[in-house]
Amino acid sequence: MIKQFKNNSLILSVAVLMTFMGCNQENKTEEKAMESDVLLKQWTGPYGGIPAFDQMKVEDVKSAMIRGMELNVKEIEAIADNKEAPTFENTIVEMERSGEALDRGFTYYGIFSSNMSSPEFREVQRELAPMFSEFRSKITQNEKLFKRVKALYDSSQVHPHDDDQQRVLELVYKSFEMNGAELDSIKKKRYAAINKELSGLYTKFSNNVLHDEENYITYLSKDQLGGLAEGFVKSAAKIATDKGQEGKYAITNTRSSMDPFLTYSTERDIRKIVWTNYYSRGDNGDEYDNKELISEILKLRRERVELLGYKNYAEWRLQDRMAKTPENAMGLMEAVWPAAIARVAEEVEDMQAVADKNGDQIKIEPWDYRFYAEKVRQAKYDLDSDEVKQYLQLDKLTDAMHYVAGRLFNYNFTPVPEGSVPVFQEDVKVWEVTDKDTGENIGLWYLDPYARQGKRSGAWANTYRSHTTFDGDKNVLASNNSNFIKPAPGEALLVSWDDATTFFHEFGHALHFFSSNVKYPTLNGGVRDYTEFQSQLLERWLSTDEVIDEFLVHNETGQPMPKELVAKIKKASTFNQGFSTTEYLASALMDMKFHLADPENIDVDKFERETLAELNMPEELPMRHRTPHFGHVFSGEGYATAYYGYMWADVLTADAAEAFSEAPDGFYDKEVAEKLVKYLFAPRNSIDPADAYRMFRGRDAKIEALMRDRGFPVATE
């Protein structure tokens, strides 16, 4: 998941967001005025300047963000009030150049929001949310500014600019148009009011989920540890001790804790409690319940796009995505859904047979799925996930990712000496990224691997500074963020194959940032149903022989993974695809159906239950993200009606992976790798994604590759 923060409640595209808030340069007078604002001042020091993470304080956030917005509005008003006729240089370039101070402020704000949240910050966040909305409206509804942009856009339809300039201009114009720039004054006022109200709802939604993650903890006694691995038990003991529960074992309400517990614990009653806590986040009938918020969000989103003349939110949102229409997105999901739920039925039958054979006298329930799936995996493939984990050490996986980046992108990753670069938390590590041949600095890579109080769940990638060349080369500062349970002192951090895959996935986003070769900040944006493709593709290198042979070594003996175990892993590669595909697709379909439905008087709980019933959702598993905690969709708008994008991107992924598997040197084929970087990573959003993929593959991607990849039946003509 990409986490380019710039405020969760934002409705602007990433491209325009970076235009107004990102990666640019200010005049000297304003720089002097900002010296007292720690969170806004220029980054100094090595590596092109680095964030002062060691100086960030919650008490500085509100004043800094208000000051940053004031400065940015002044910059935008100066562009709009320019008496000279609009040109690309005096309008678009100046917009690209504006907002550097605010962008720096949002870097710190994003860290506080995602990595280091606290009750004090959440209060600041609540106060700032409507201010951010008003700030964005001052830009999107600046009539003089839009008049200049539109004049340039209209002229370019007759006399186009060069490719980069034309792409920037079209992206900027489209975002203004999509966000109400051509509305009359009355509708503009209502549009801005809706955005302001939504910004508060998004913040409240996100904080409600975080509350339930932090406050629903299951404590175990020593006699309730059956089936759990030693490393997991030691971590659970330390977490409990840190929370004042010495002698107990804590299962936190996050996926990284829940998932292994449900997979291995023999305590079925406690599995049900842990499962219920996790899937009930935001749905506990208390002051932190999100269902009414969702209802309000859906109504406001529909009202807002109706002001623009669209029938529903999905129609408005998808017009600038690869899918283009809700019908195209639904068509892909509906093509895969029947095969996915059919596979679930087979998986449940296999699990029930194991339970019956063991004399367990149960019917498979959602809190049993992972547990018995693991039993089936062992029976069918003689593959024990815990045995595989012994070869998946986080530090070795980090080395493996750096190795892949070296082979494909020609990058070196060198650890930065501890203390030489400020970090916001002691567990964060930093590497310098350089070109292997020239030694040129590409940027810095920050890794924040562990779960902790105040850190949101999941895994994501982030940029603190993006590459551009229009004002001199800027290097990249990027991060990967995970929620692994921190091991006890002296213990290796062992992860599951799925977690290792996610680790590679998020690193794919970081490589997408580092490989950027664009001129203007706007071109560092992305198309949501395309930007997951690059990261999903990088997952494939985890299972390459080169990575397995060199980096997947036993945590105690140091011996490489046995060939027999490797063969079992590859043989079982499509195992449990019914579960993983169905839990994901259910969330993606629900996202789309919520936004296509009439939101008036919608009962969120009833709609979820009835829609899943219409889809014949298997009762033995839940959606990956139940609606009341579906932060991708309801804590902001980045993935709203766009969660399908992971599958859209997976079609591209499966098809591109076949290009590598067909190459003479497989996944390390130099010629295909060069095309990968040139057409799929470096251009970012400077080329239309569909065109970029055709340049790489010579044709469009085919859904048949996805079906083969997941072991589903492929339709024949």
Question: Which residues, other chains included, contact 542 with Cβ-Cβ below 8 Å and sequence gap of 6+?
Answer: 400, 500, 501, 504
* Domain hosting residue 264, numbered range: 216-279
Is 634 inside a domain boundary? yes
Give, in order, the Cα–Cα distances in Å from 267 to each of 140, 264, 368, 396, 622. Answer: 55, 9, 10, 32, 20
Residue type, 194: I
User: Do both 617 and 661 map to the same domain?
Assistant: yes
Assigned domain for 653 exists: yes
The whole-number pLDDT of residue 9 equals 28
**Residues 547 and 387: beta-carbon distance below 8 Å:** no
Same domain, 195 and 159: yes
State residue 287 phi and psi, 5-degree precision: -70, -10
Residue 180's pLDDT is: 93
Reported as a single tens digit per residue, the pLDDT across 669-700 is: 999 999 999 999 999 999 999 999 999 999 99
Residue 538 maps to a domain: no
Tell me the per-residue pLDDT of 582-623, one tens digit each, with 9 for 90 and over: 999 999 999 999 999 999 999 999 999 999 999 999 999 999
- pLDDT computed for residue 488 by the predictor: 87
In a domain, 440, yes or no: no
Residues of the chain with pLDDT under 50: 3-27, 29
Give strand ranges (E) for 363-472. Answer: 411-415, 429-435, 441-450, 460-465
54/161 same-domain check: yes
Q: Do residues 255 and 132 both lie within one domain?
A: no
Query: Which CATH number do you get for residue 96?
Result: 1.10.1370.40
CATH no. for residue 632? Answer: 1.10.1370.10
Same domain, 50 and 82: yes
∠ CA 500-537-344, rounded to 5°:
70
**Cα 12 from Cα 20, distance rounded (Å):** 10
Tens of pLDDT, residues 60-77: 999 999 999 999 999 999
169 shares its domain with 146: yes
Residues in the chain: 717
In a domain, 682, yes or no: yes
511 inside domain: no
Count of domains in the chain? Answer: 3
Do 608 and 679 belong together in one domain?
A: yes
Is residue 145 in a domain?
yes
Q: Give residue 257's identity as a one-letter amino acid code.
A: S
Instruction: Say yes or no: 234 and 181 in one domain.
Output: no
Strand partners, 2: 461
